[in-house]
Amino acid sequence: MISAMSPRDPALHPILEKVGRGERLSREDGITMFRSTDVVALGQMANAVKQERSGDAVYYVFNQKIEPTNVCVLTCEFCDFAAVPGAAHAYEMSLQSILDRITPEVHEVHITGGLHPTWPWEYYLEMIRSIRQRFPDVDIKAFTAVEIDFFHKKFKLSVQDVLAQLQEAGLSTMPGGGAEVFSERVREKLFHQKIGAGPWLAIHKAAHRLGIPTNATLLYGHIETIEERIDHLLRLREAQDETGGFLTFIPLAFQPGNTGIKPTHEYTSAIDDLKTIAISRLMLDNFPHIKAYWVMLTEEVATIALNFGADDMDGTVGGEKIAHDAGAQSPTALTKERLVKMIREAGKVPVERDAFFNPLSVDAEFVVGKIPYLNSVPFYAFFDSPEEKILPVVPRRMGILARKKEIISGPFSLMDYVSIENDFELMEFCIATRDQVKSVLLFSKGGWRDLEGKRIAITDDTATSIRLLHVLLEHKYGVHAEFVRLHPGVNDLRGFDAVLLIGDEALHCNKYGLPGFELVFDLAREWYEWQKLPFVFAVWAVLRSLPEVRKASLHDALKESLRRSETSMAWLGAQHGKRIGLTAEEAREFLEGFNYHLGDREREAITVFKKLNAQVKQILWTLNS
Ligand code: V47
């Protein structure tokens, strides 16, 4: 709890207060934190922010790094990986040898390499295409902004065309490499042939606009100053405010190797690594995740970093060259079991994920799901039951984990609850509206009846809202539309006539508008005006096989959190509104629009909805390419 902390360094007190109030930190705050020697306080603050965002979860992915060639037209000072064409250690991988590196258990491939002087554009496209064909379920994270810029110039294609063609071939996300430090001073000294901040950011924003989420990095621990590190973070934060397309931030600890940049060959200190992780978590308030990249940090420091604000460990990696050519002392790959052990040692919950950070499986007992939206805050704000571990997960994914019994309880989307009823019993809590909800919204170009035969984009998160939309369209308005499921994160909304958004994203767009979609329909209000009933979006349920004492203690902890929340709505509004751009008052009013207790009217509403839902035809789904 932030409120219980008391840093030894008085310079951190105003920063602690800001963090406690959920306020954005300034450049000066960043510099103060780097100058502070109170590393423990920085770690505690960052860990508290991490817990608030990702609960006890720490993510990892079963991945395979592939560096198709080290032949590179650049000769950057800090890089020991690149080879000039014809050098004895130069290598080039064939398509077959790339494919041979991917085994069936791999969930993500991470491709990045040298800027090859003669490989044709078709080779890169074929690389992505053939991986996609051979391994349809693998996420392909490929090519840094530096490579994209190289393709753009060499093959005389616009950046947008390069990205769109790669996306068409099967690219899922882009890695965050090549950012180095956004300082012209450092660029001139260490990598003057490489693109600087402007083009790097422009390429990432272009990717986001196409619906390609990306990562971001900072190469630290060489000749950059503290101020330059902070300015780098601020530029990333600004870009993220604009697009929301960054998934995770990765501070890359410089490996001195034979680069000659650090004649004394010293590595970054563990203190500097941990401070950089913590300060990144605190400054980048709009980045969902912070990665502890064990390859460059070492396994030991990466494990400690999980209590300093990091919530992601990258993955098994399966062989890495860039850092190891520069003297990294970590192994070149880790087993899944080793990663799980490290995460457990840090006291966190290991969650295997895909490249989009969708949880695939959870490796712990007594995990309780948390819907990561403002409307669920009252269940967790004062939840105090150390035995249970909290995992934030969007409604649809929570259903998937519950079916595998990897979580013991949570507020399940109503439609999901129907499918797990045999194993889970209802608790007396729910998320129901009073009349309108303001966070389940259809943004549309026209009225309801104009949607006949039109394409509606559906956020990946929803399970019940989409059924409600379907029921409203078919029963209330007699309209049949085509539904297209979006990827998580960012998306290109051109070509759609309406978009269904839920949760904080919907709240945010409701306040600031969604360009091109002028009309906004609140689905709960539509339902209320039609049925004169509340709408129940989620019901709390608990695994039937759980010992009764555990059920009782979970029930009591939830009840107590709700009781305290109900008398602290103004405080909760102030704490949580800012994150999504709402004033304290707007957030309070929003929270007060919910009923969290499952009563007779809520049960009646569930029965009516289930009946109507059973009568509508199957949803007509179209895959988003
Ligand atoms: O861009 C090069 C860096 C990066 C050195 O997006 C060095 O999930 C340290 O970006 N010491 C490539 N770093 C790696 C990278 C990455 C890694 C893991 C995950 C993700 C992700 C991205 O490695 C390069 C450069 O900044 N690098 N030389 C060196 N001597």
Tokens linked to 378: 């009252």
Tell whether 117 and 254 lie within a shared domain.
Answer: yes
The CATH number of the domain where 144 resides is what?
3.20.20.70
**Residue 395 near residue 416, CB atoms below 8 Å:** yes
Final residue belonging to a domain, choices 301, 333, 361: 361
Ligand 1 atom nearest to CA at 112: 12
d(CA 252, CA 323): 10
| Domain extent at residue 84 | 2-361
Cα dihedral sign, 277-279-282-288 = negative
Tell whether 488 and 351 lie within a shared domain.
Answer: no
pLDDT at 488: 57
Tell whether 512 and 597 lie within a shared domain.
Answer: no
Final residue belonging to a domain, choices 361, 380, 396: 361
CB atoms within 10 A of CB 615: 9
d(CA 223, CA 519): 52
Tokens linked to 151: 């393709």
**Pocket probe mutation, ligand 1, options 186, 220, 252, 259, max atoms within 8 Å of Cβ:** 252
What average pLDDT score do residues 362-373 get? 93
Mean pLDDT score of the chain = 93
Tell whether 224 and 344 lie within a shared domain.
Answer: yes
> What is the per-residue DSSP string for 288-339?
SEEB--HHHH-HHHHHHHTTTT--EEEE--S---HHHHTT--S-S---HHHH
The rounded Å distance from CA 217 to ligand 1 centre is: 7
Tell whether 339 and 402 lie within a shared domain.
Answer: no
- DSSP code, position 12: G
> What is the per-residue DSSP string for 183-219?
-HHHHHHH-TTS--HHHHHHHHHHHHHTT--EEEEEE
Q: Is 307 in the pocket of ligand 1 (CB under 6 A)?
A: no
Per DSSP, the chain holds a count of helices (H) and strands (E) of: 25, 22
pLDDT at 624: 53
Q: Is 176 in the pocket of ligand 1 (CB under 6 A)?
A: yes
The rounded Å distance from CA 322 to ligand 1 centre is: 7
Q: Is 9 in the pocket of ligand 1 (CB under 6 A)?
A: no
The structural domain count of the chain equals 3
Q: Is 174 in the pocket of ligand 1 (CB under 6 A)?
A: no
- With cut-offs at 50, 70 and 90, classify the pLDDT of residue 461: confident
d(CA 351, CA 353): 6
Beta strands, E only, 434-509: 440-444, 455-458, 482-485, 498-502
* 567 CB-near residues (< 8 Å, 6+ apart): none
Q: Is 439 in the pocket of ligand 1 (CB under 6 A)?
A: no
Q: Is 144 in the pocket of ligand 1 (CB under 6 A)?
A: yes
Q: Which of 318, 387, 297, 291 is nearest to 347 (CA)?
A: 387
The rounded Å distance from CA 93 to ligand 1 centre is: 20
Tell whether 57 and 125 lie within a shared domain.
Answer: yes
Q: What is the pLDDT of residues 562-601, one digit of tens each?
A: 999 999 999 999 888 888 888 999 999 999 989 999 999 9
Give the end-to-end CA distance of the chain in Å, rounded to a whole number.
44
What average pLDDT score do residues 364-382 get? 94
Helix or strand run (H / E) with residue 352: strand 349-353
| Minimum CA distance residue for ligand 1 atom 14 | 177
Tell whether 278 and 320 lie within a shared domain.
Answer: yes
The rounded Å distance from CA 163 to ligand 1 centre is: 21
The rounded Å distance from CA 486 to ligand 1 centre is: 30
Tell whether 216 and 349 lie within a shared domain.
Answer: yes
Tell whether 482 and 455 lie within a shared domain.
Answer: yes
Residue 463 or residue 94, greater confidence: 94
Final residue belonging to a domain, choices 312, 339, 361: 361
- With cut-offs at 50, 70 and 90, classify the pLDDT of residue 262: confident
Tell whether 143 and 284 lie within a shared domain.
Answer: yes
Q: Is 221 in the pocket of ligand 1 (CB under 6 A)?
A: no
Tell whether 275 and 378 lie within a shared domain.
Answer: no
- DSSP code, position 465: H
The rounded Å distance from CA 405 to ligand 1 centre is: 37
- With cut-offs at 50, 70 and 90, classify the pLDDT of residue 619: low
Residue 625 has pLDDT above 50, yes or no: no
What average pLDDT score do residues 392-411 get? 93
d(CA 69, CA 85): 10
Q: Is 255 in the pocket of ligand 1 (CB under 6 A)?
A: yes
Highest mean pLDDT among 64-78, 117-131, 309-323: 117-131
What average pLDDT score do residues 259-283 get? 89
Looking at beta carbons, which pairs linking 85-88 to residues 24 or more positions away fall under 8 Å?
85/117
pLDDT at 1: 67
The region of weakest confidence among 145-149, 342-346, 395-399 is: 395-399
What's the one-letter identity of residue 41? Answer: A
Q: What is the pLDDT of residues 528-540, one digit of tens each?
A: 999 999 999 999 9
Tell whether 389 and 468 lie within a shared domain.
Answer: no
| Minimum CA distance residue for ligand 1 atom 8 | 175
The CATH number of the domain where 496 resides is what?
3.40.190.10
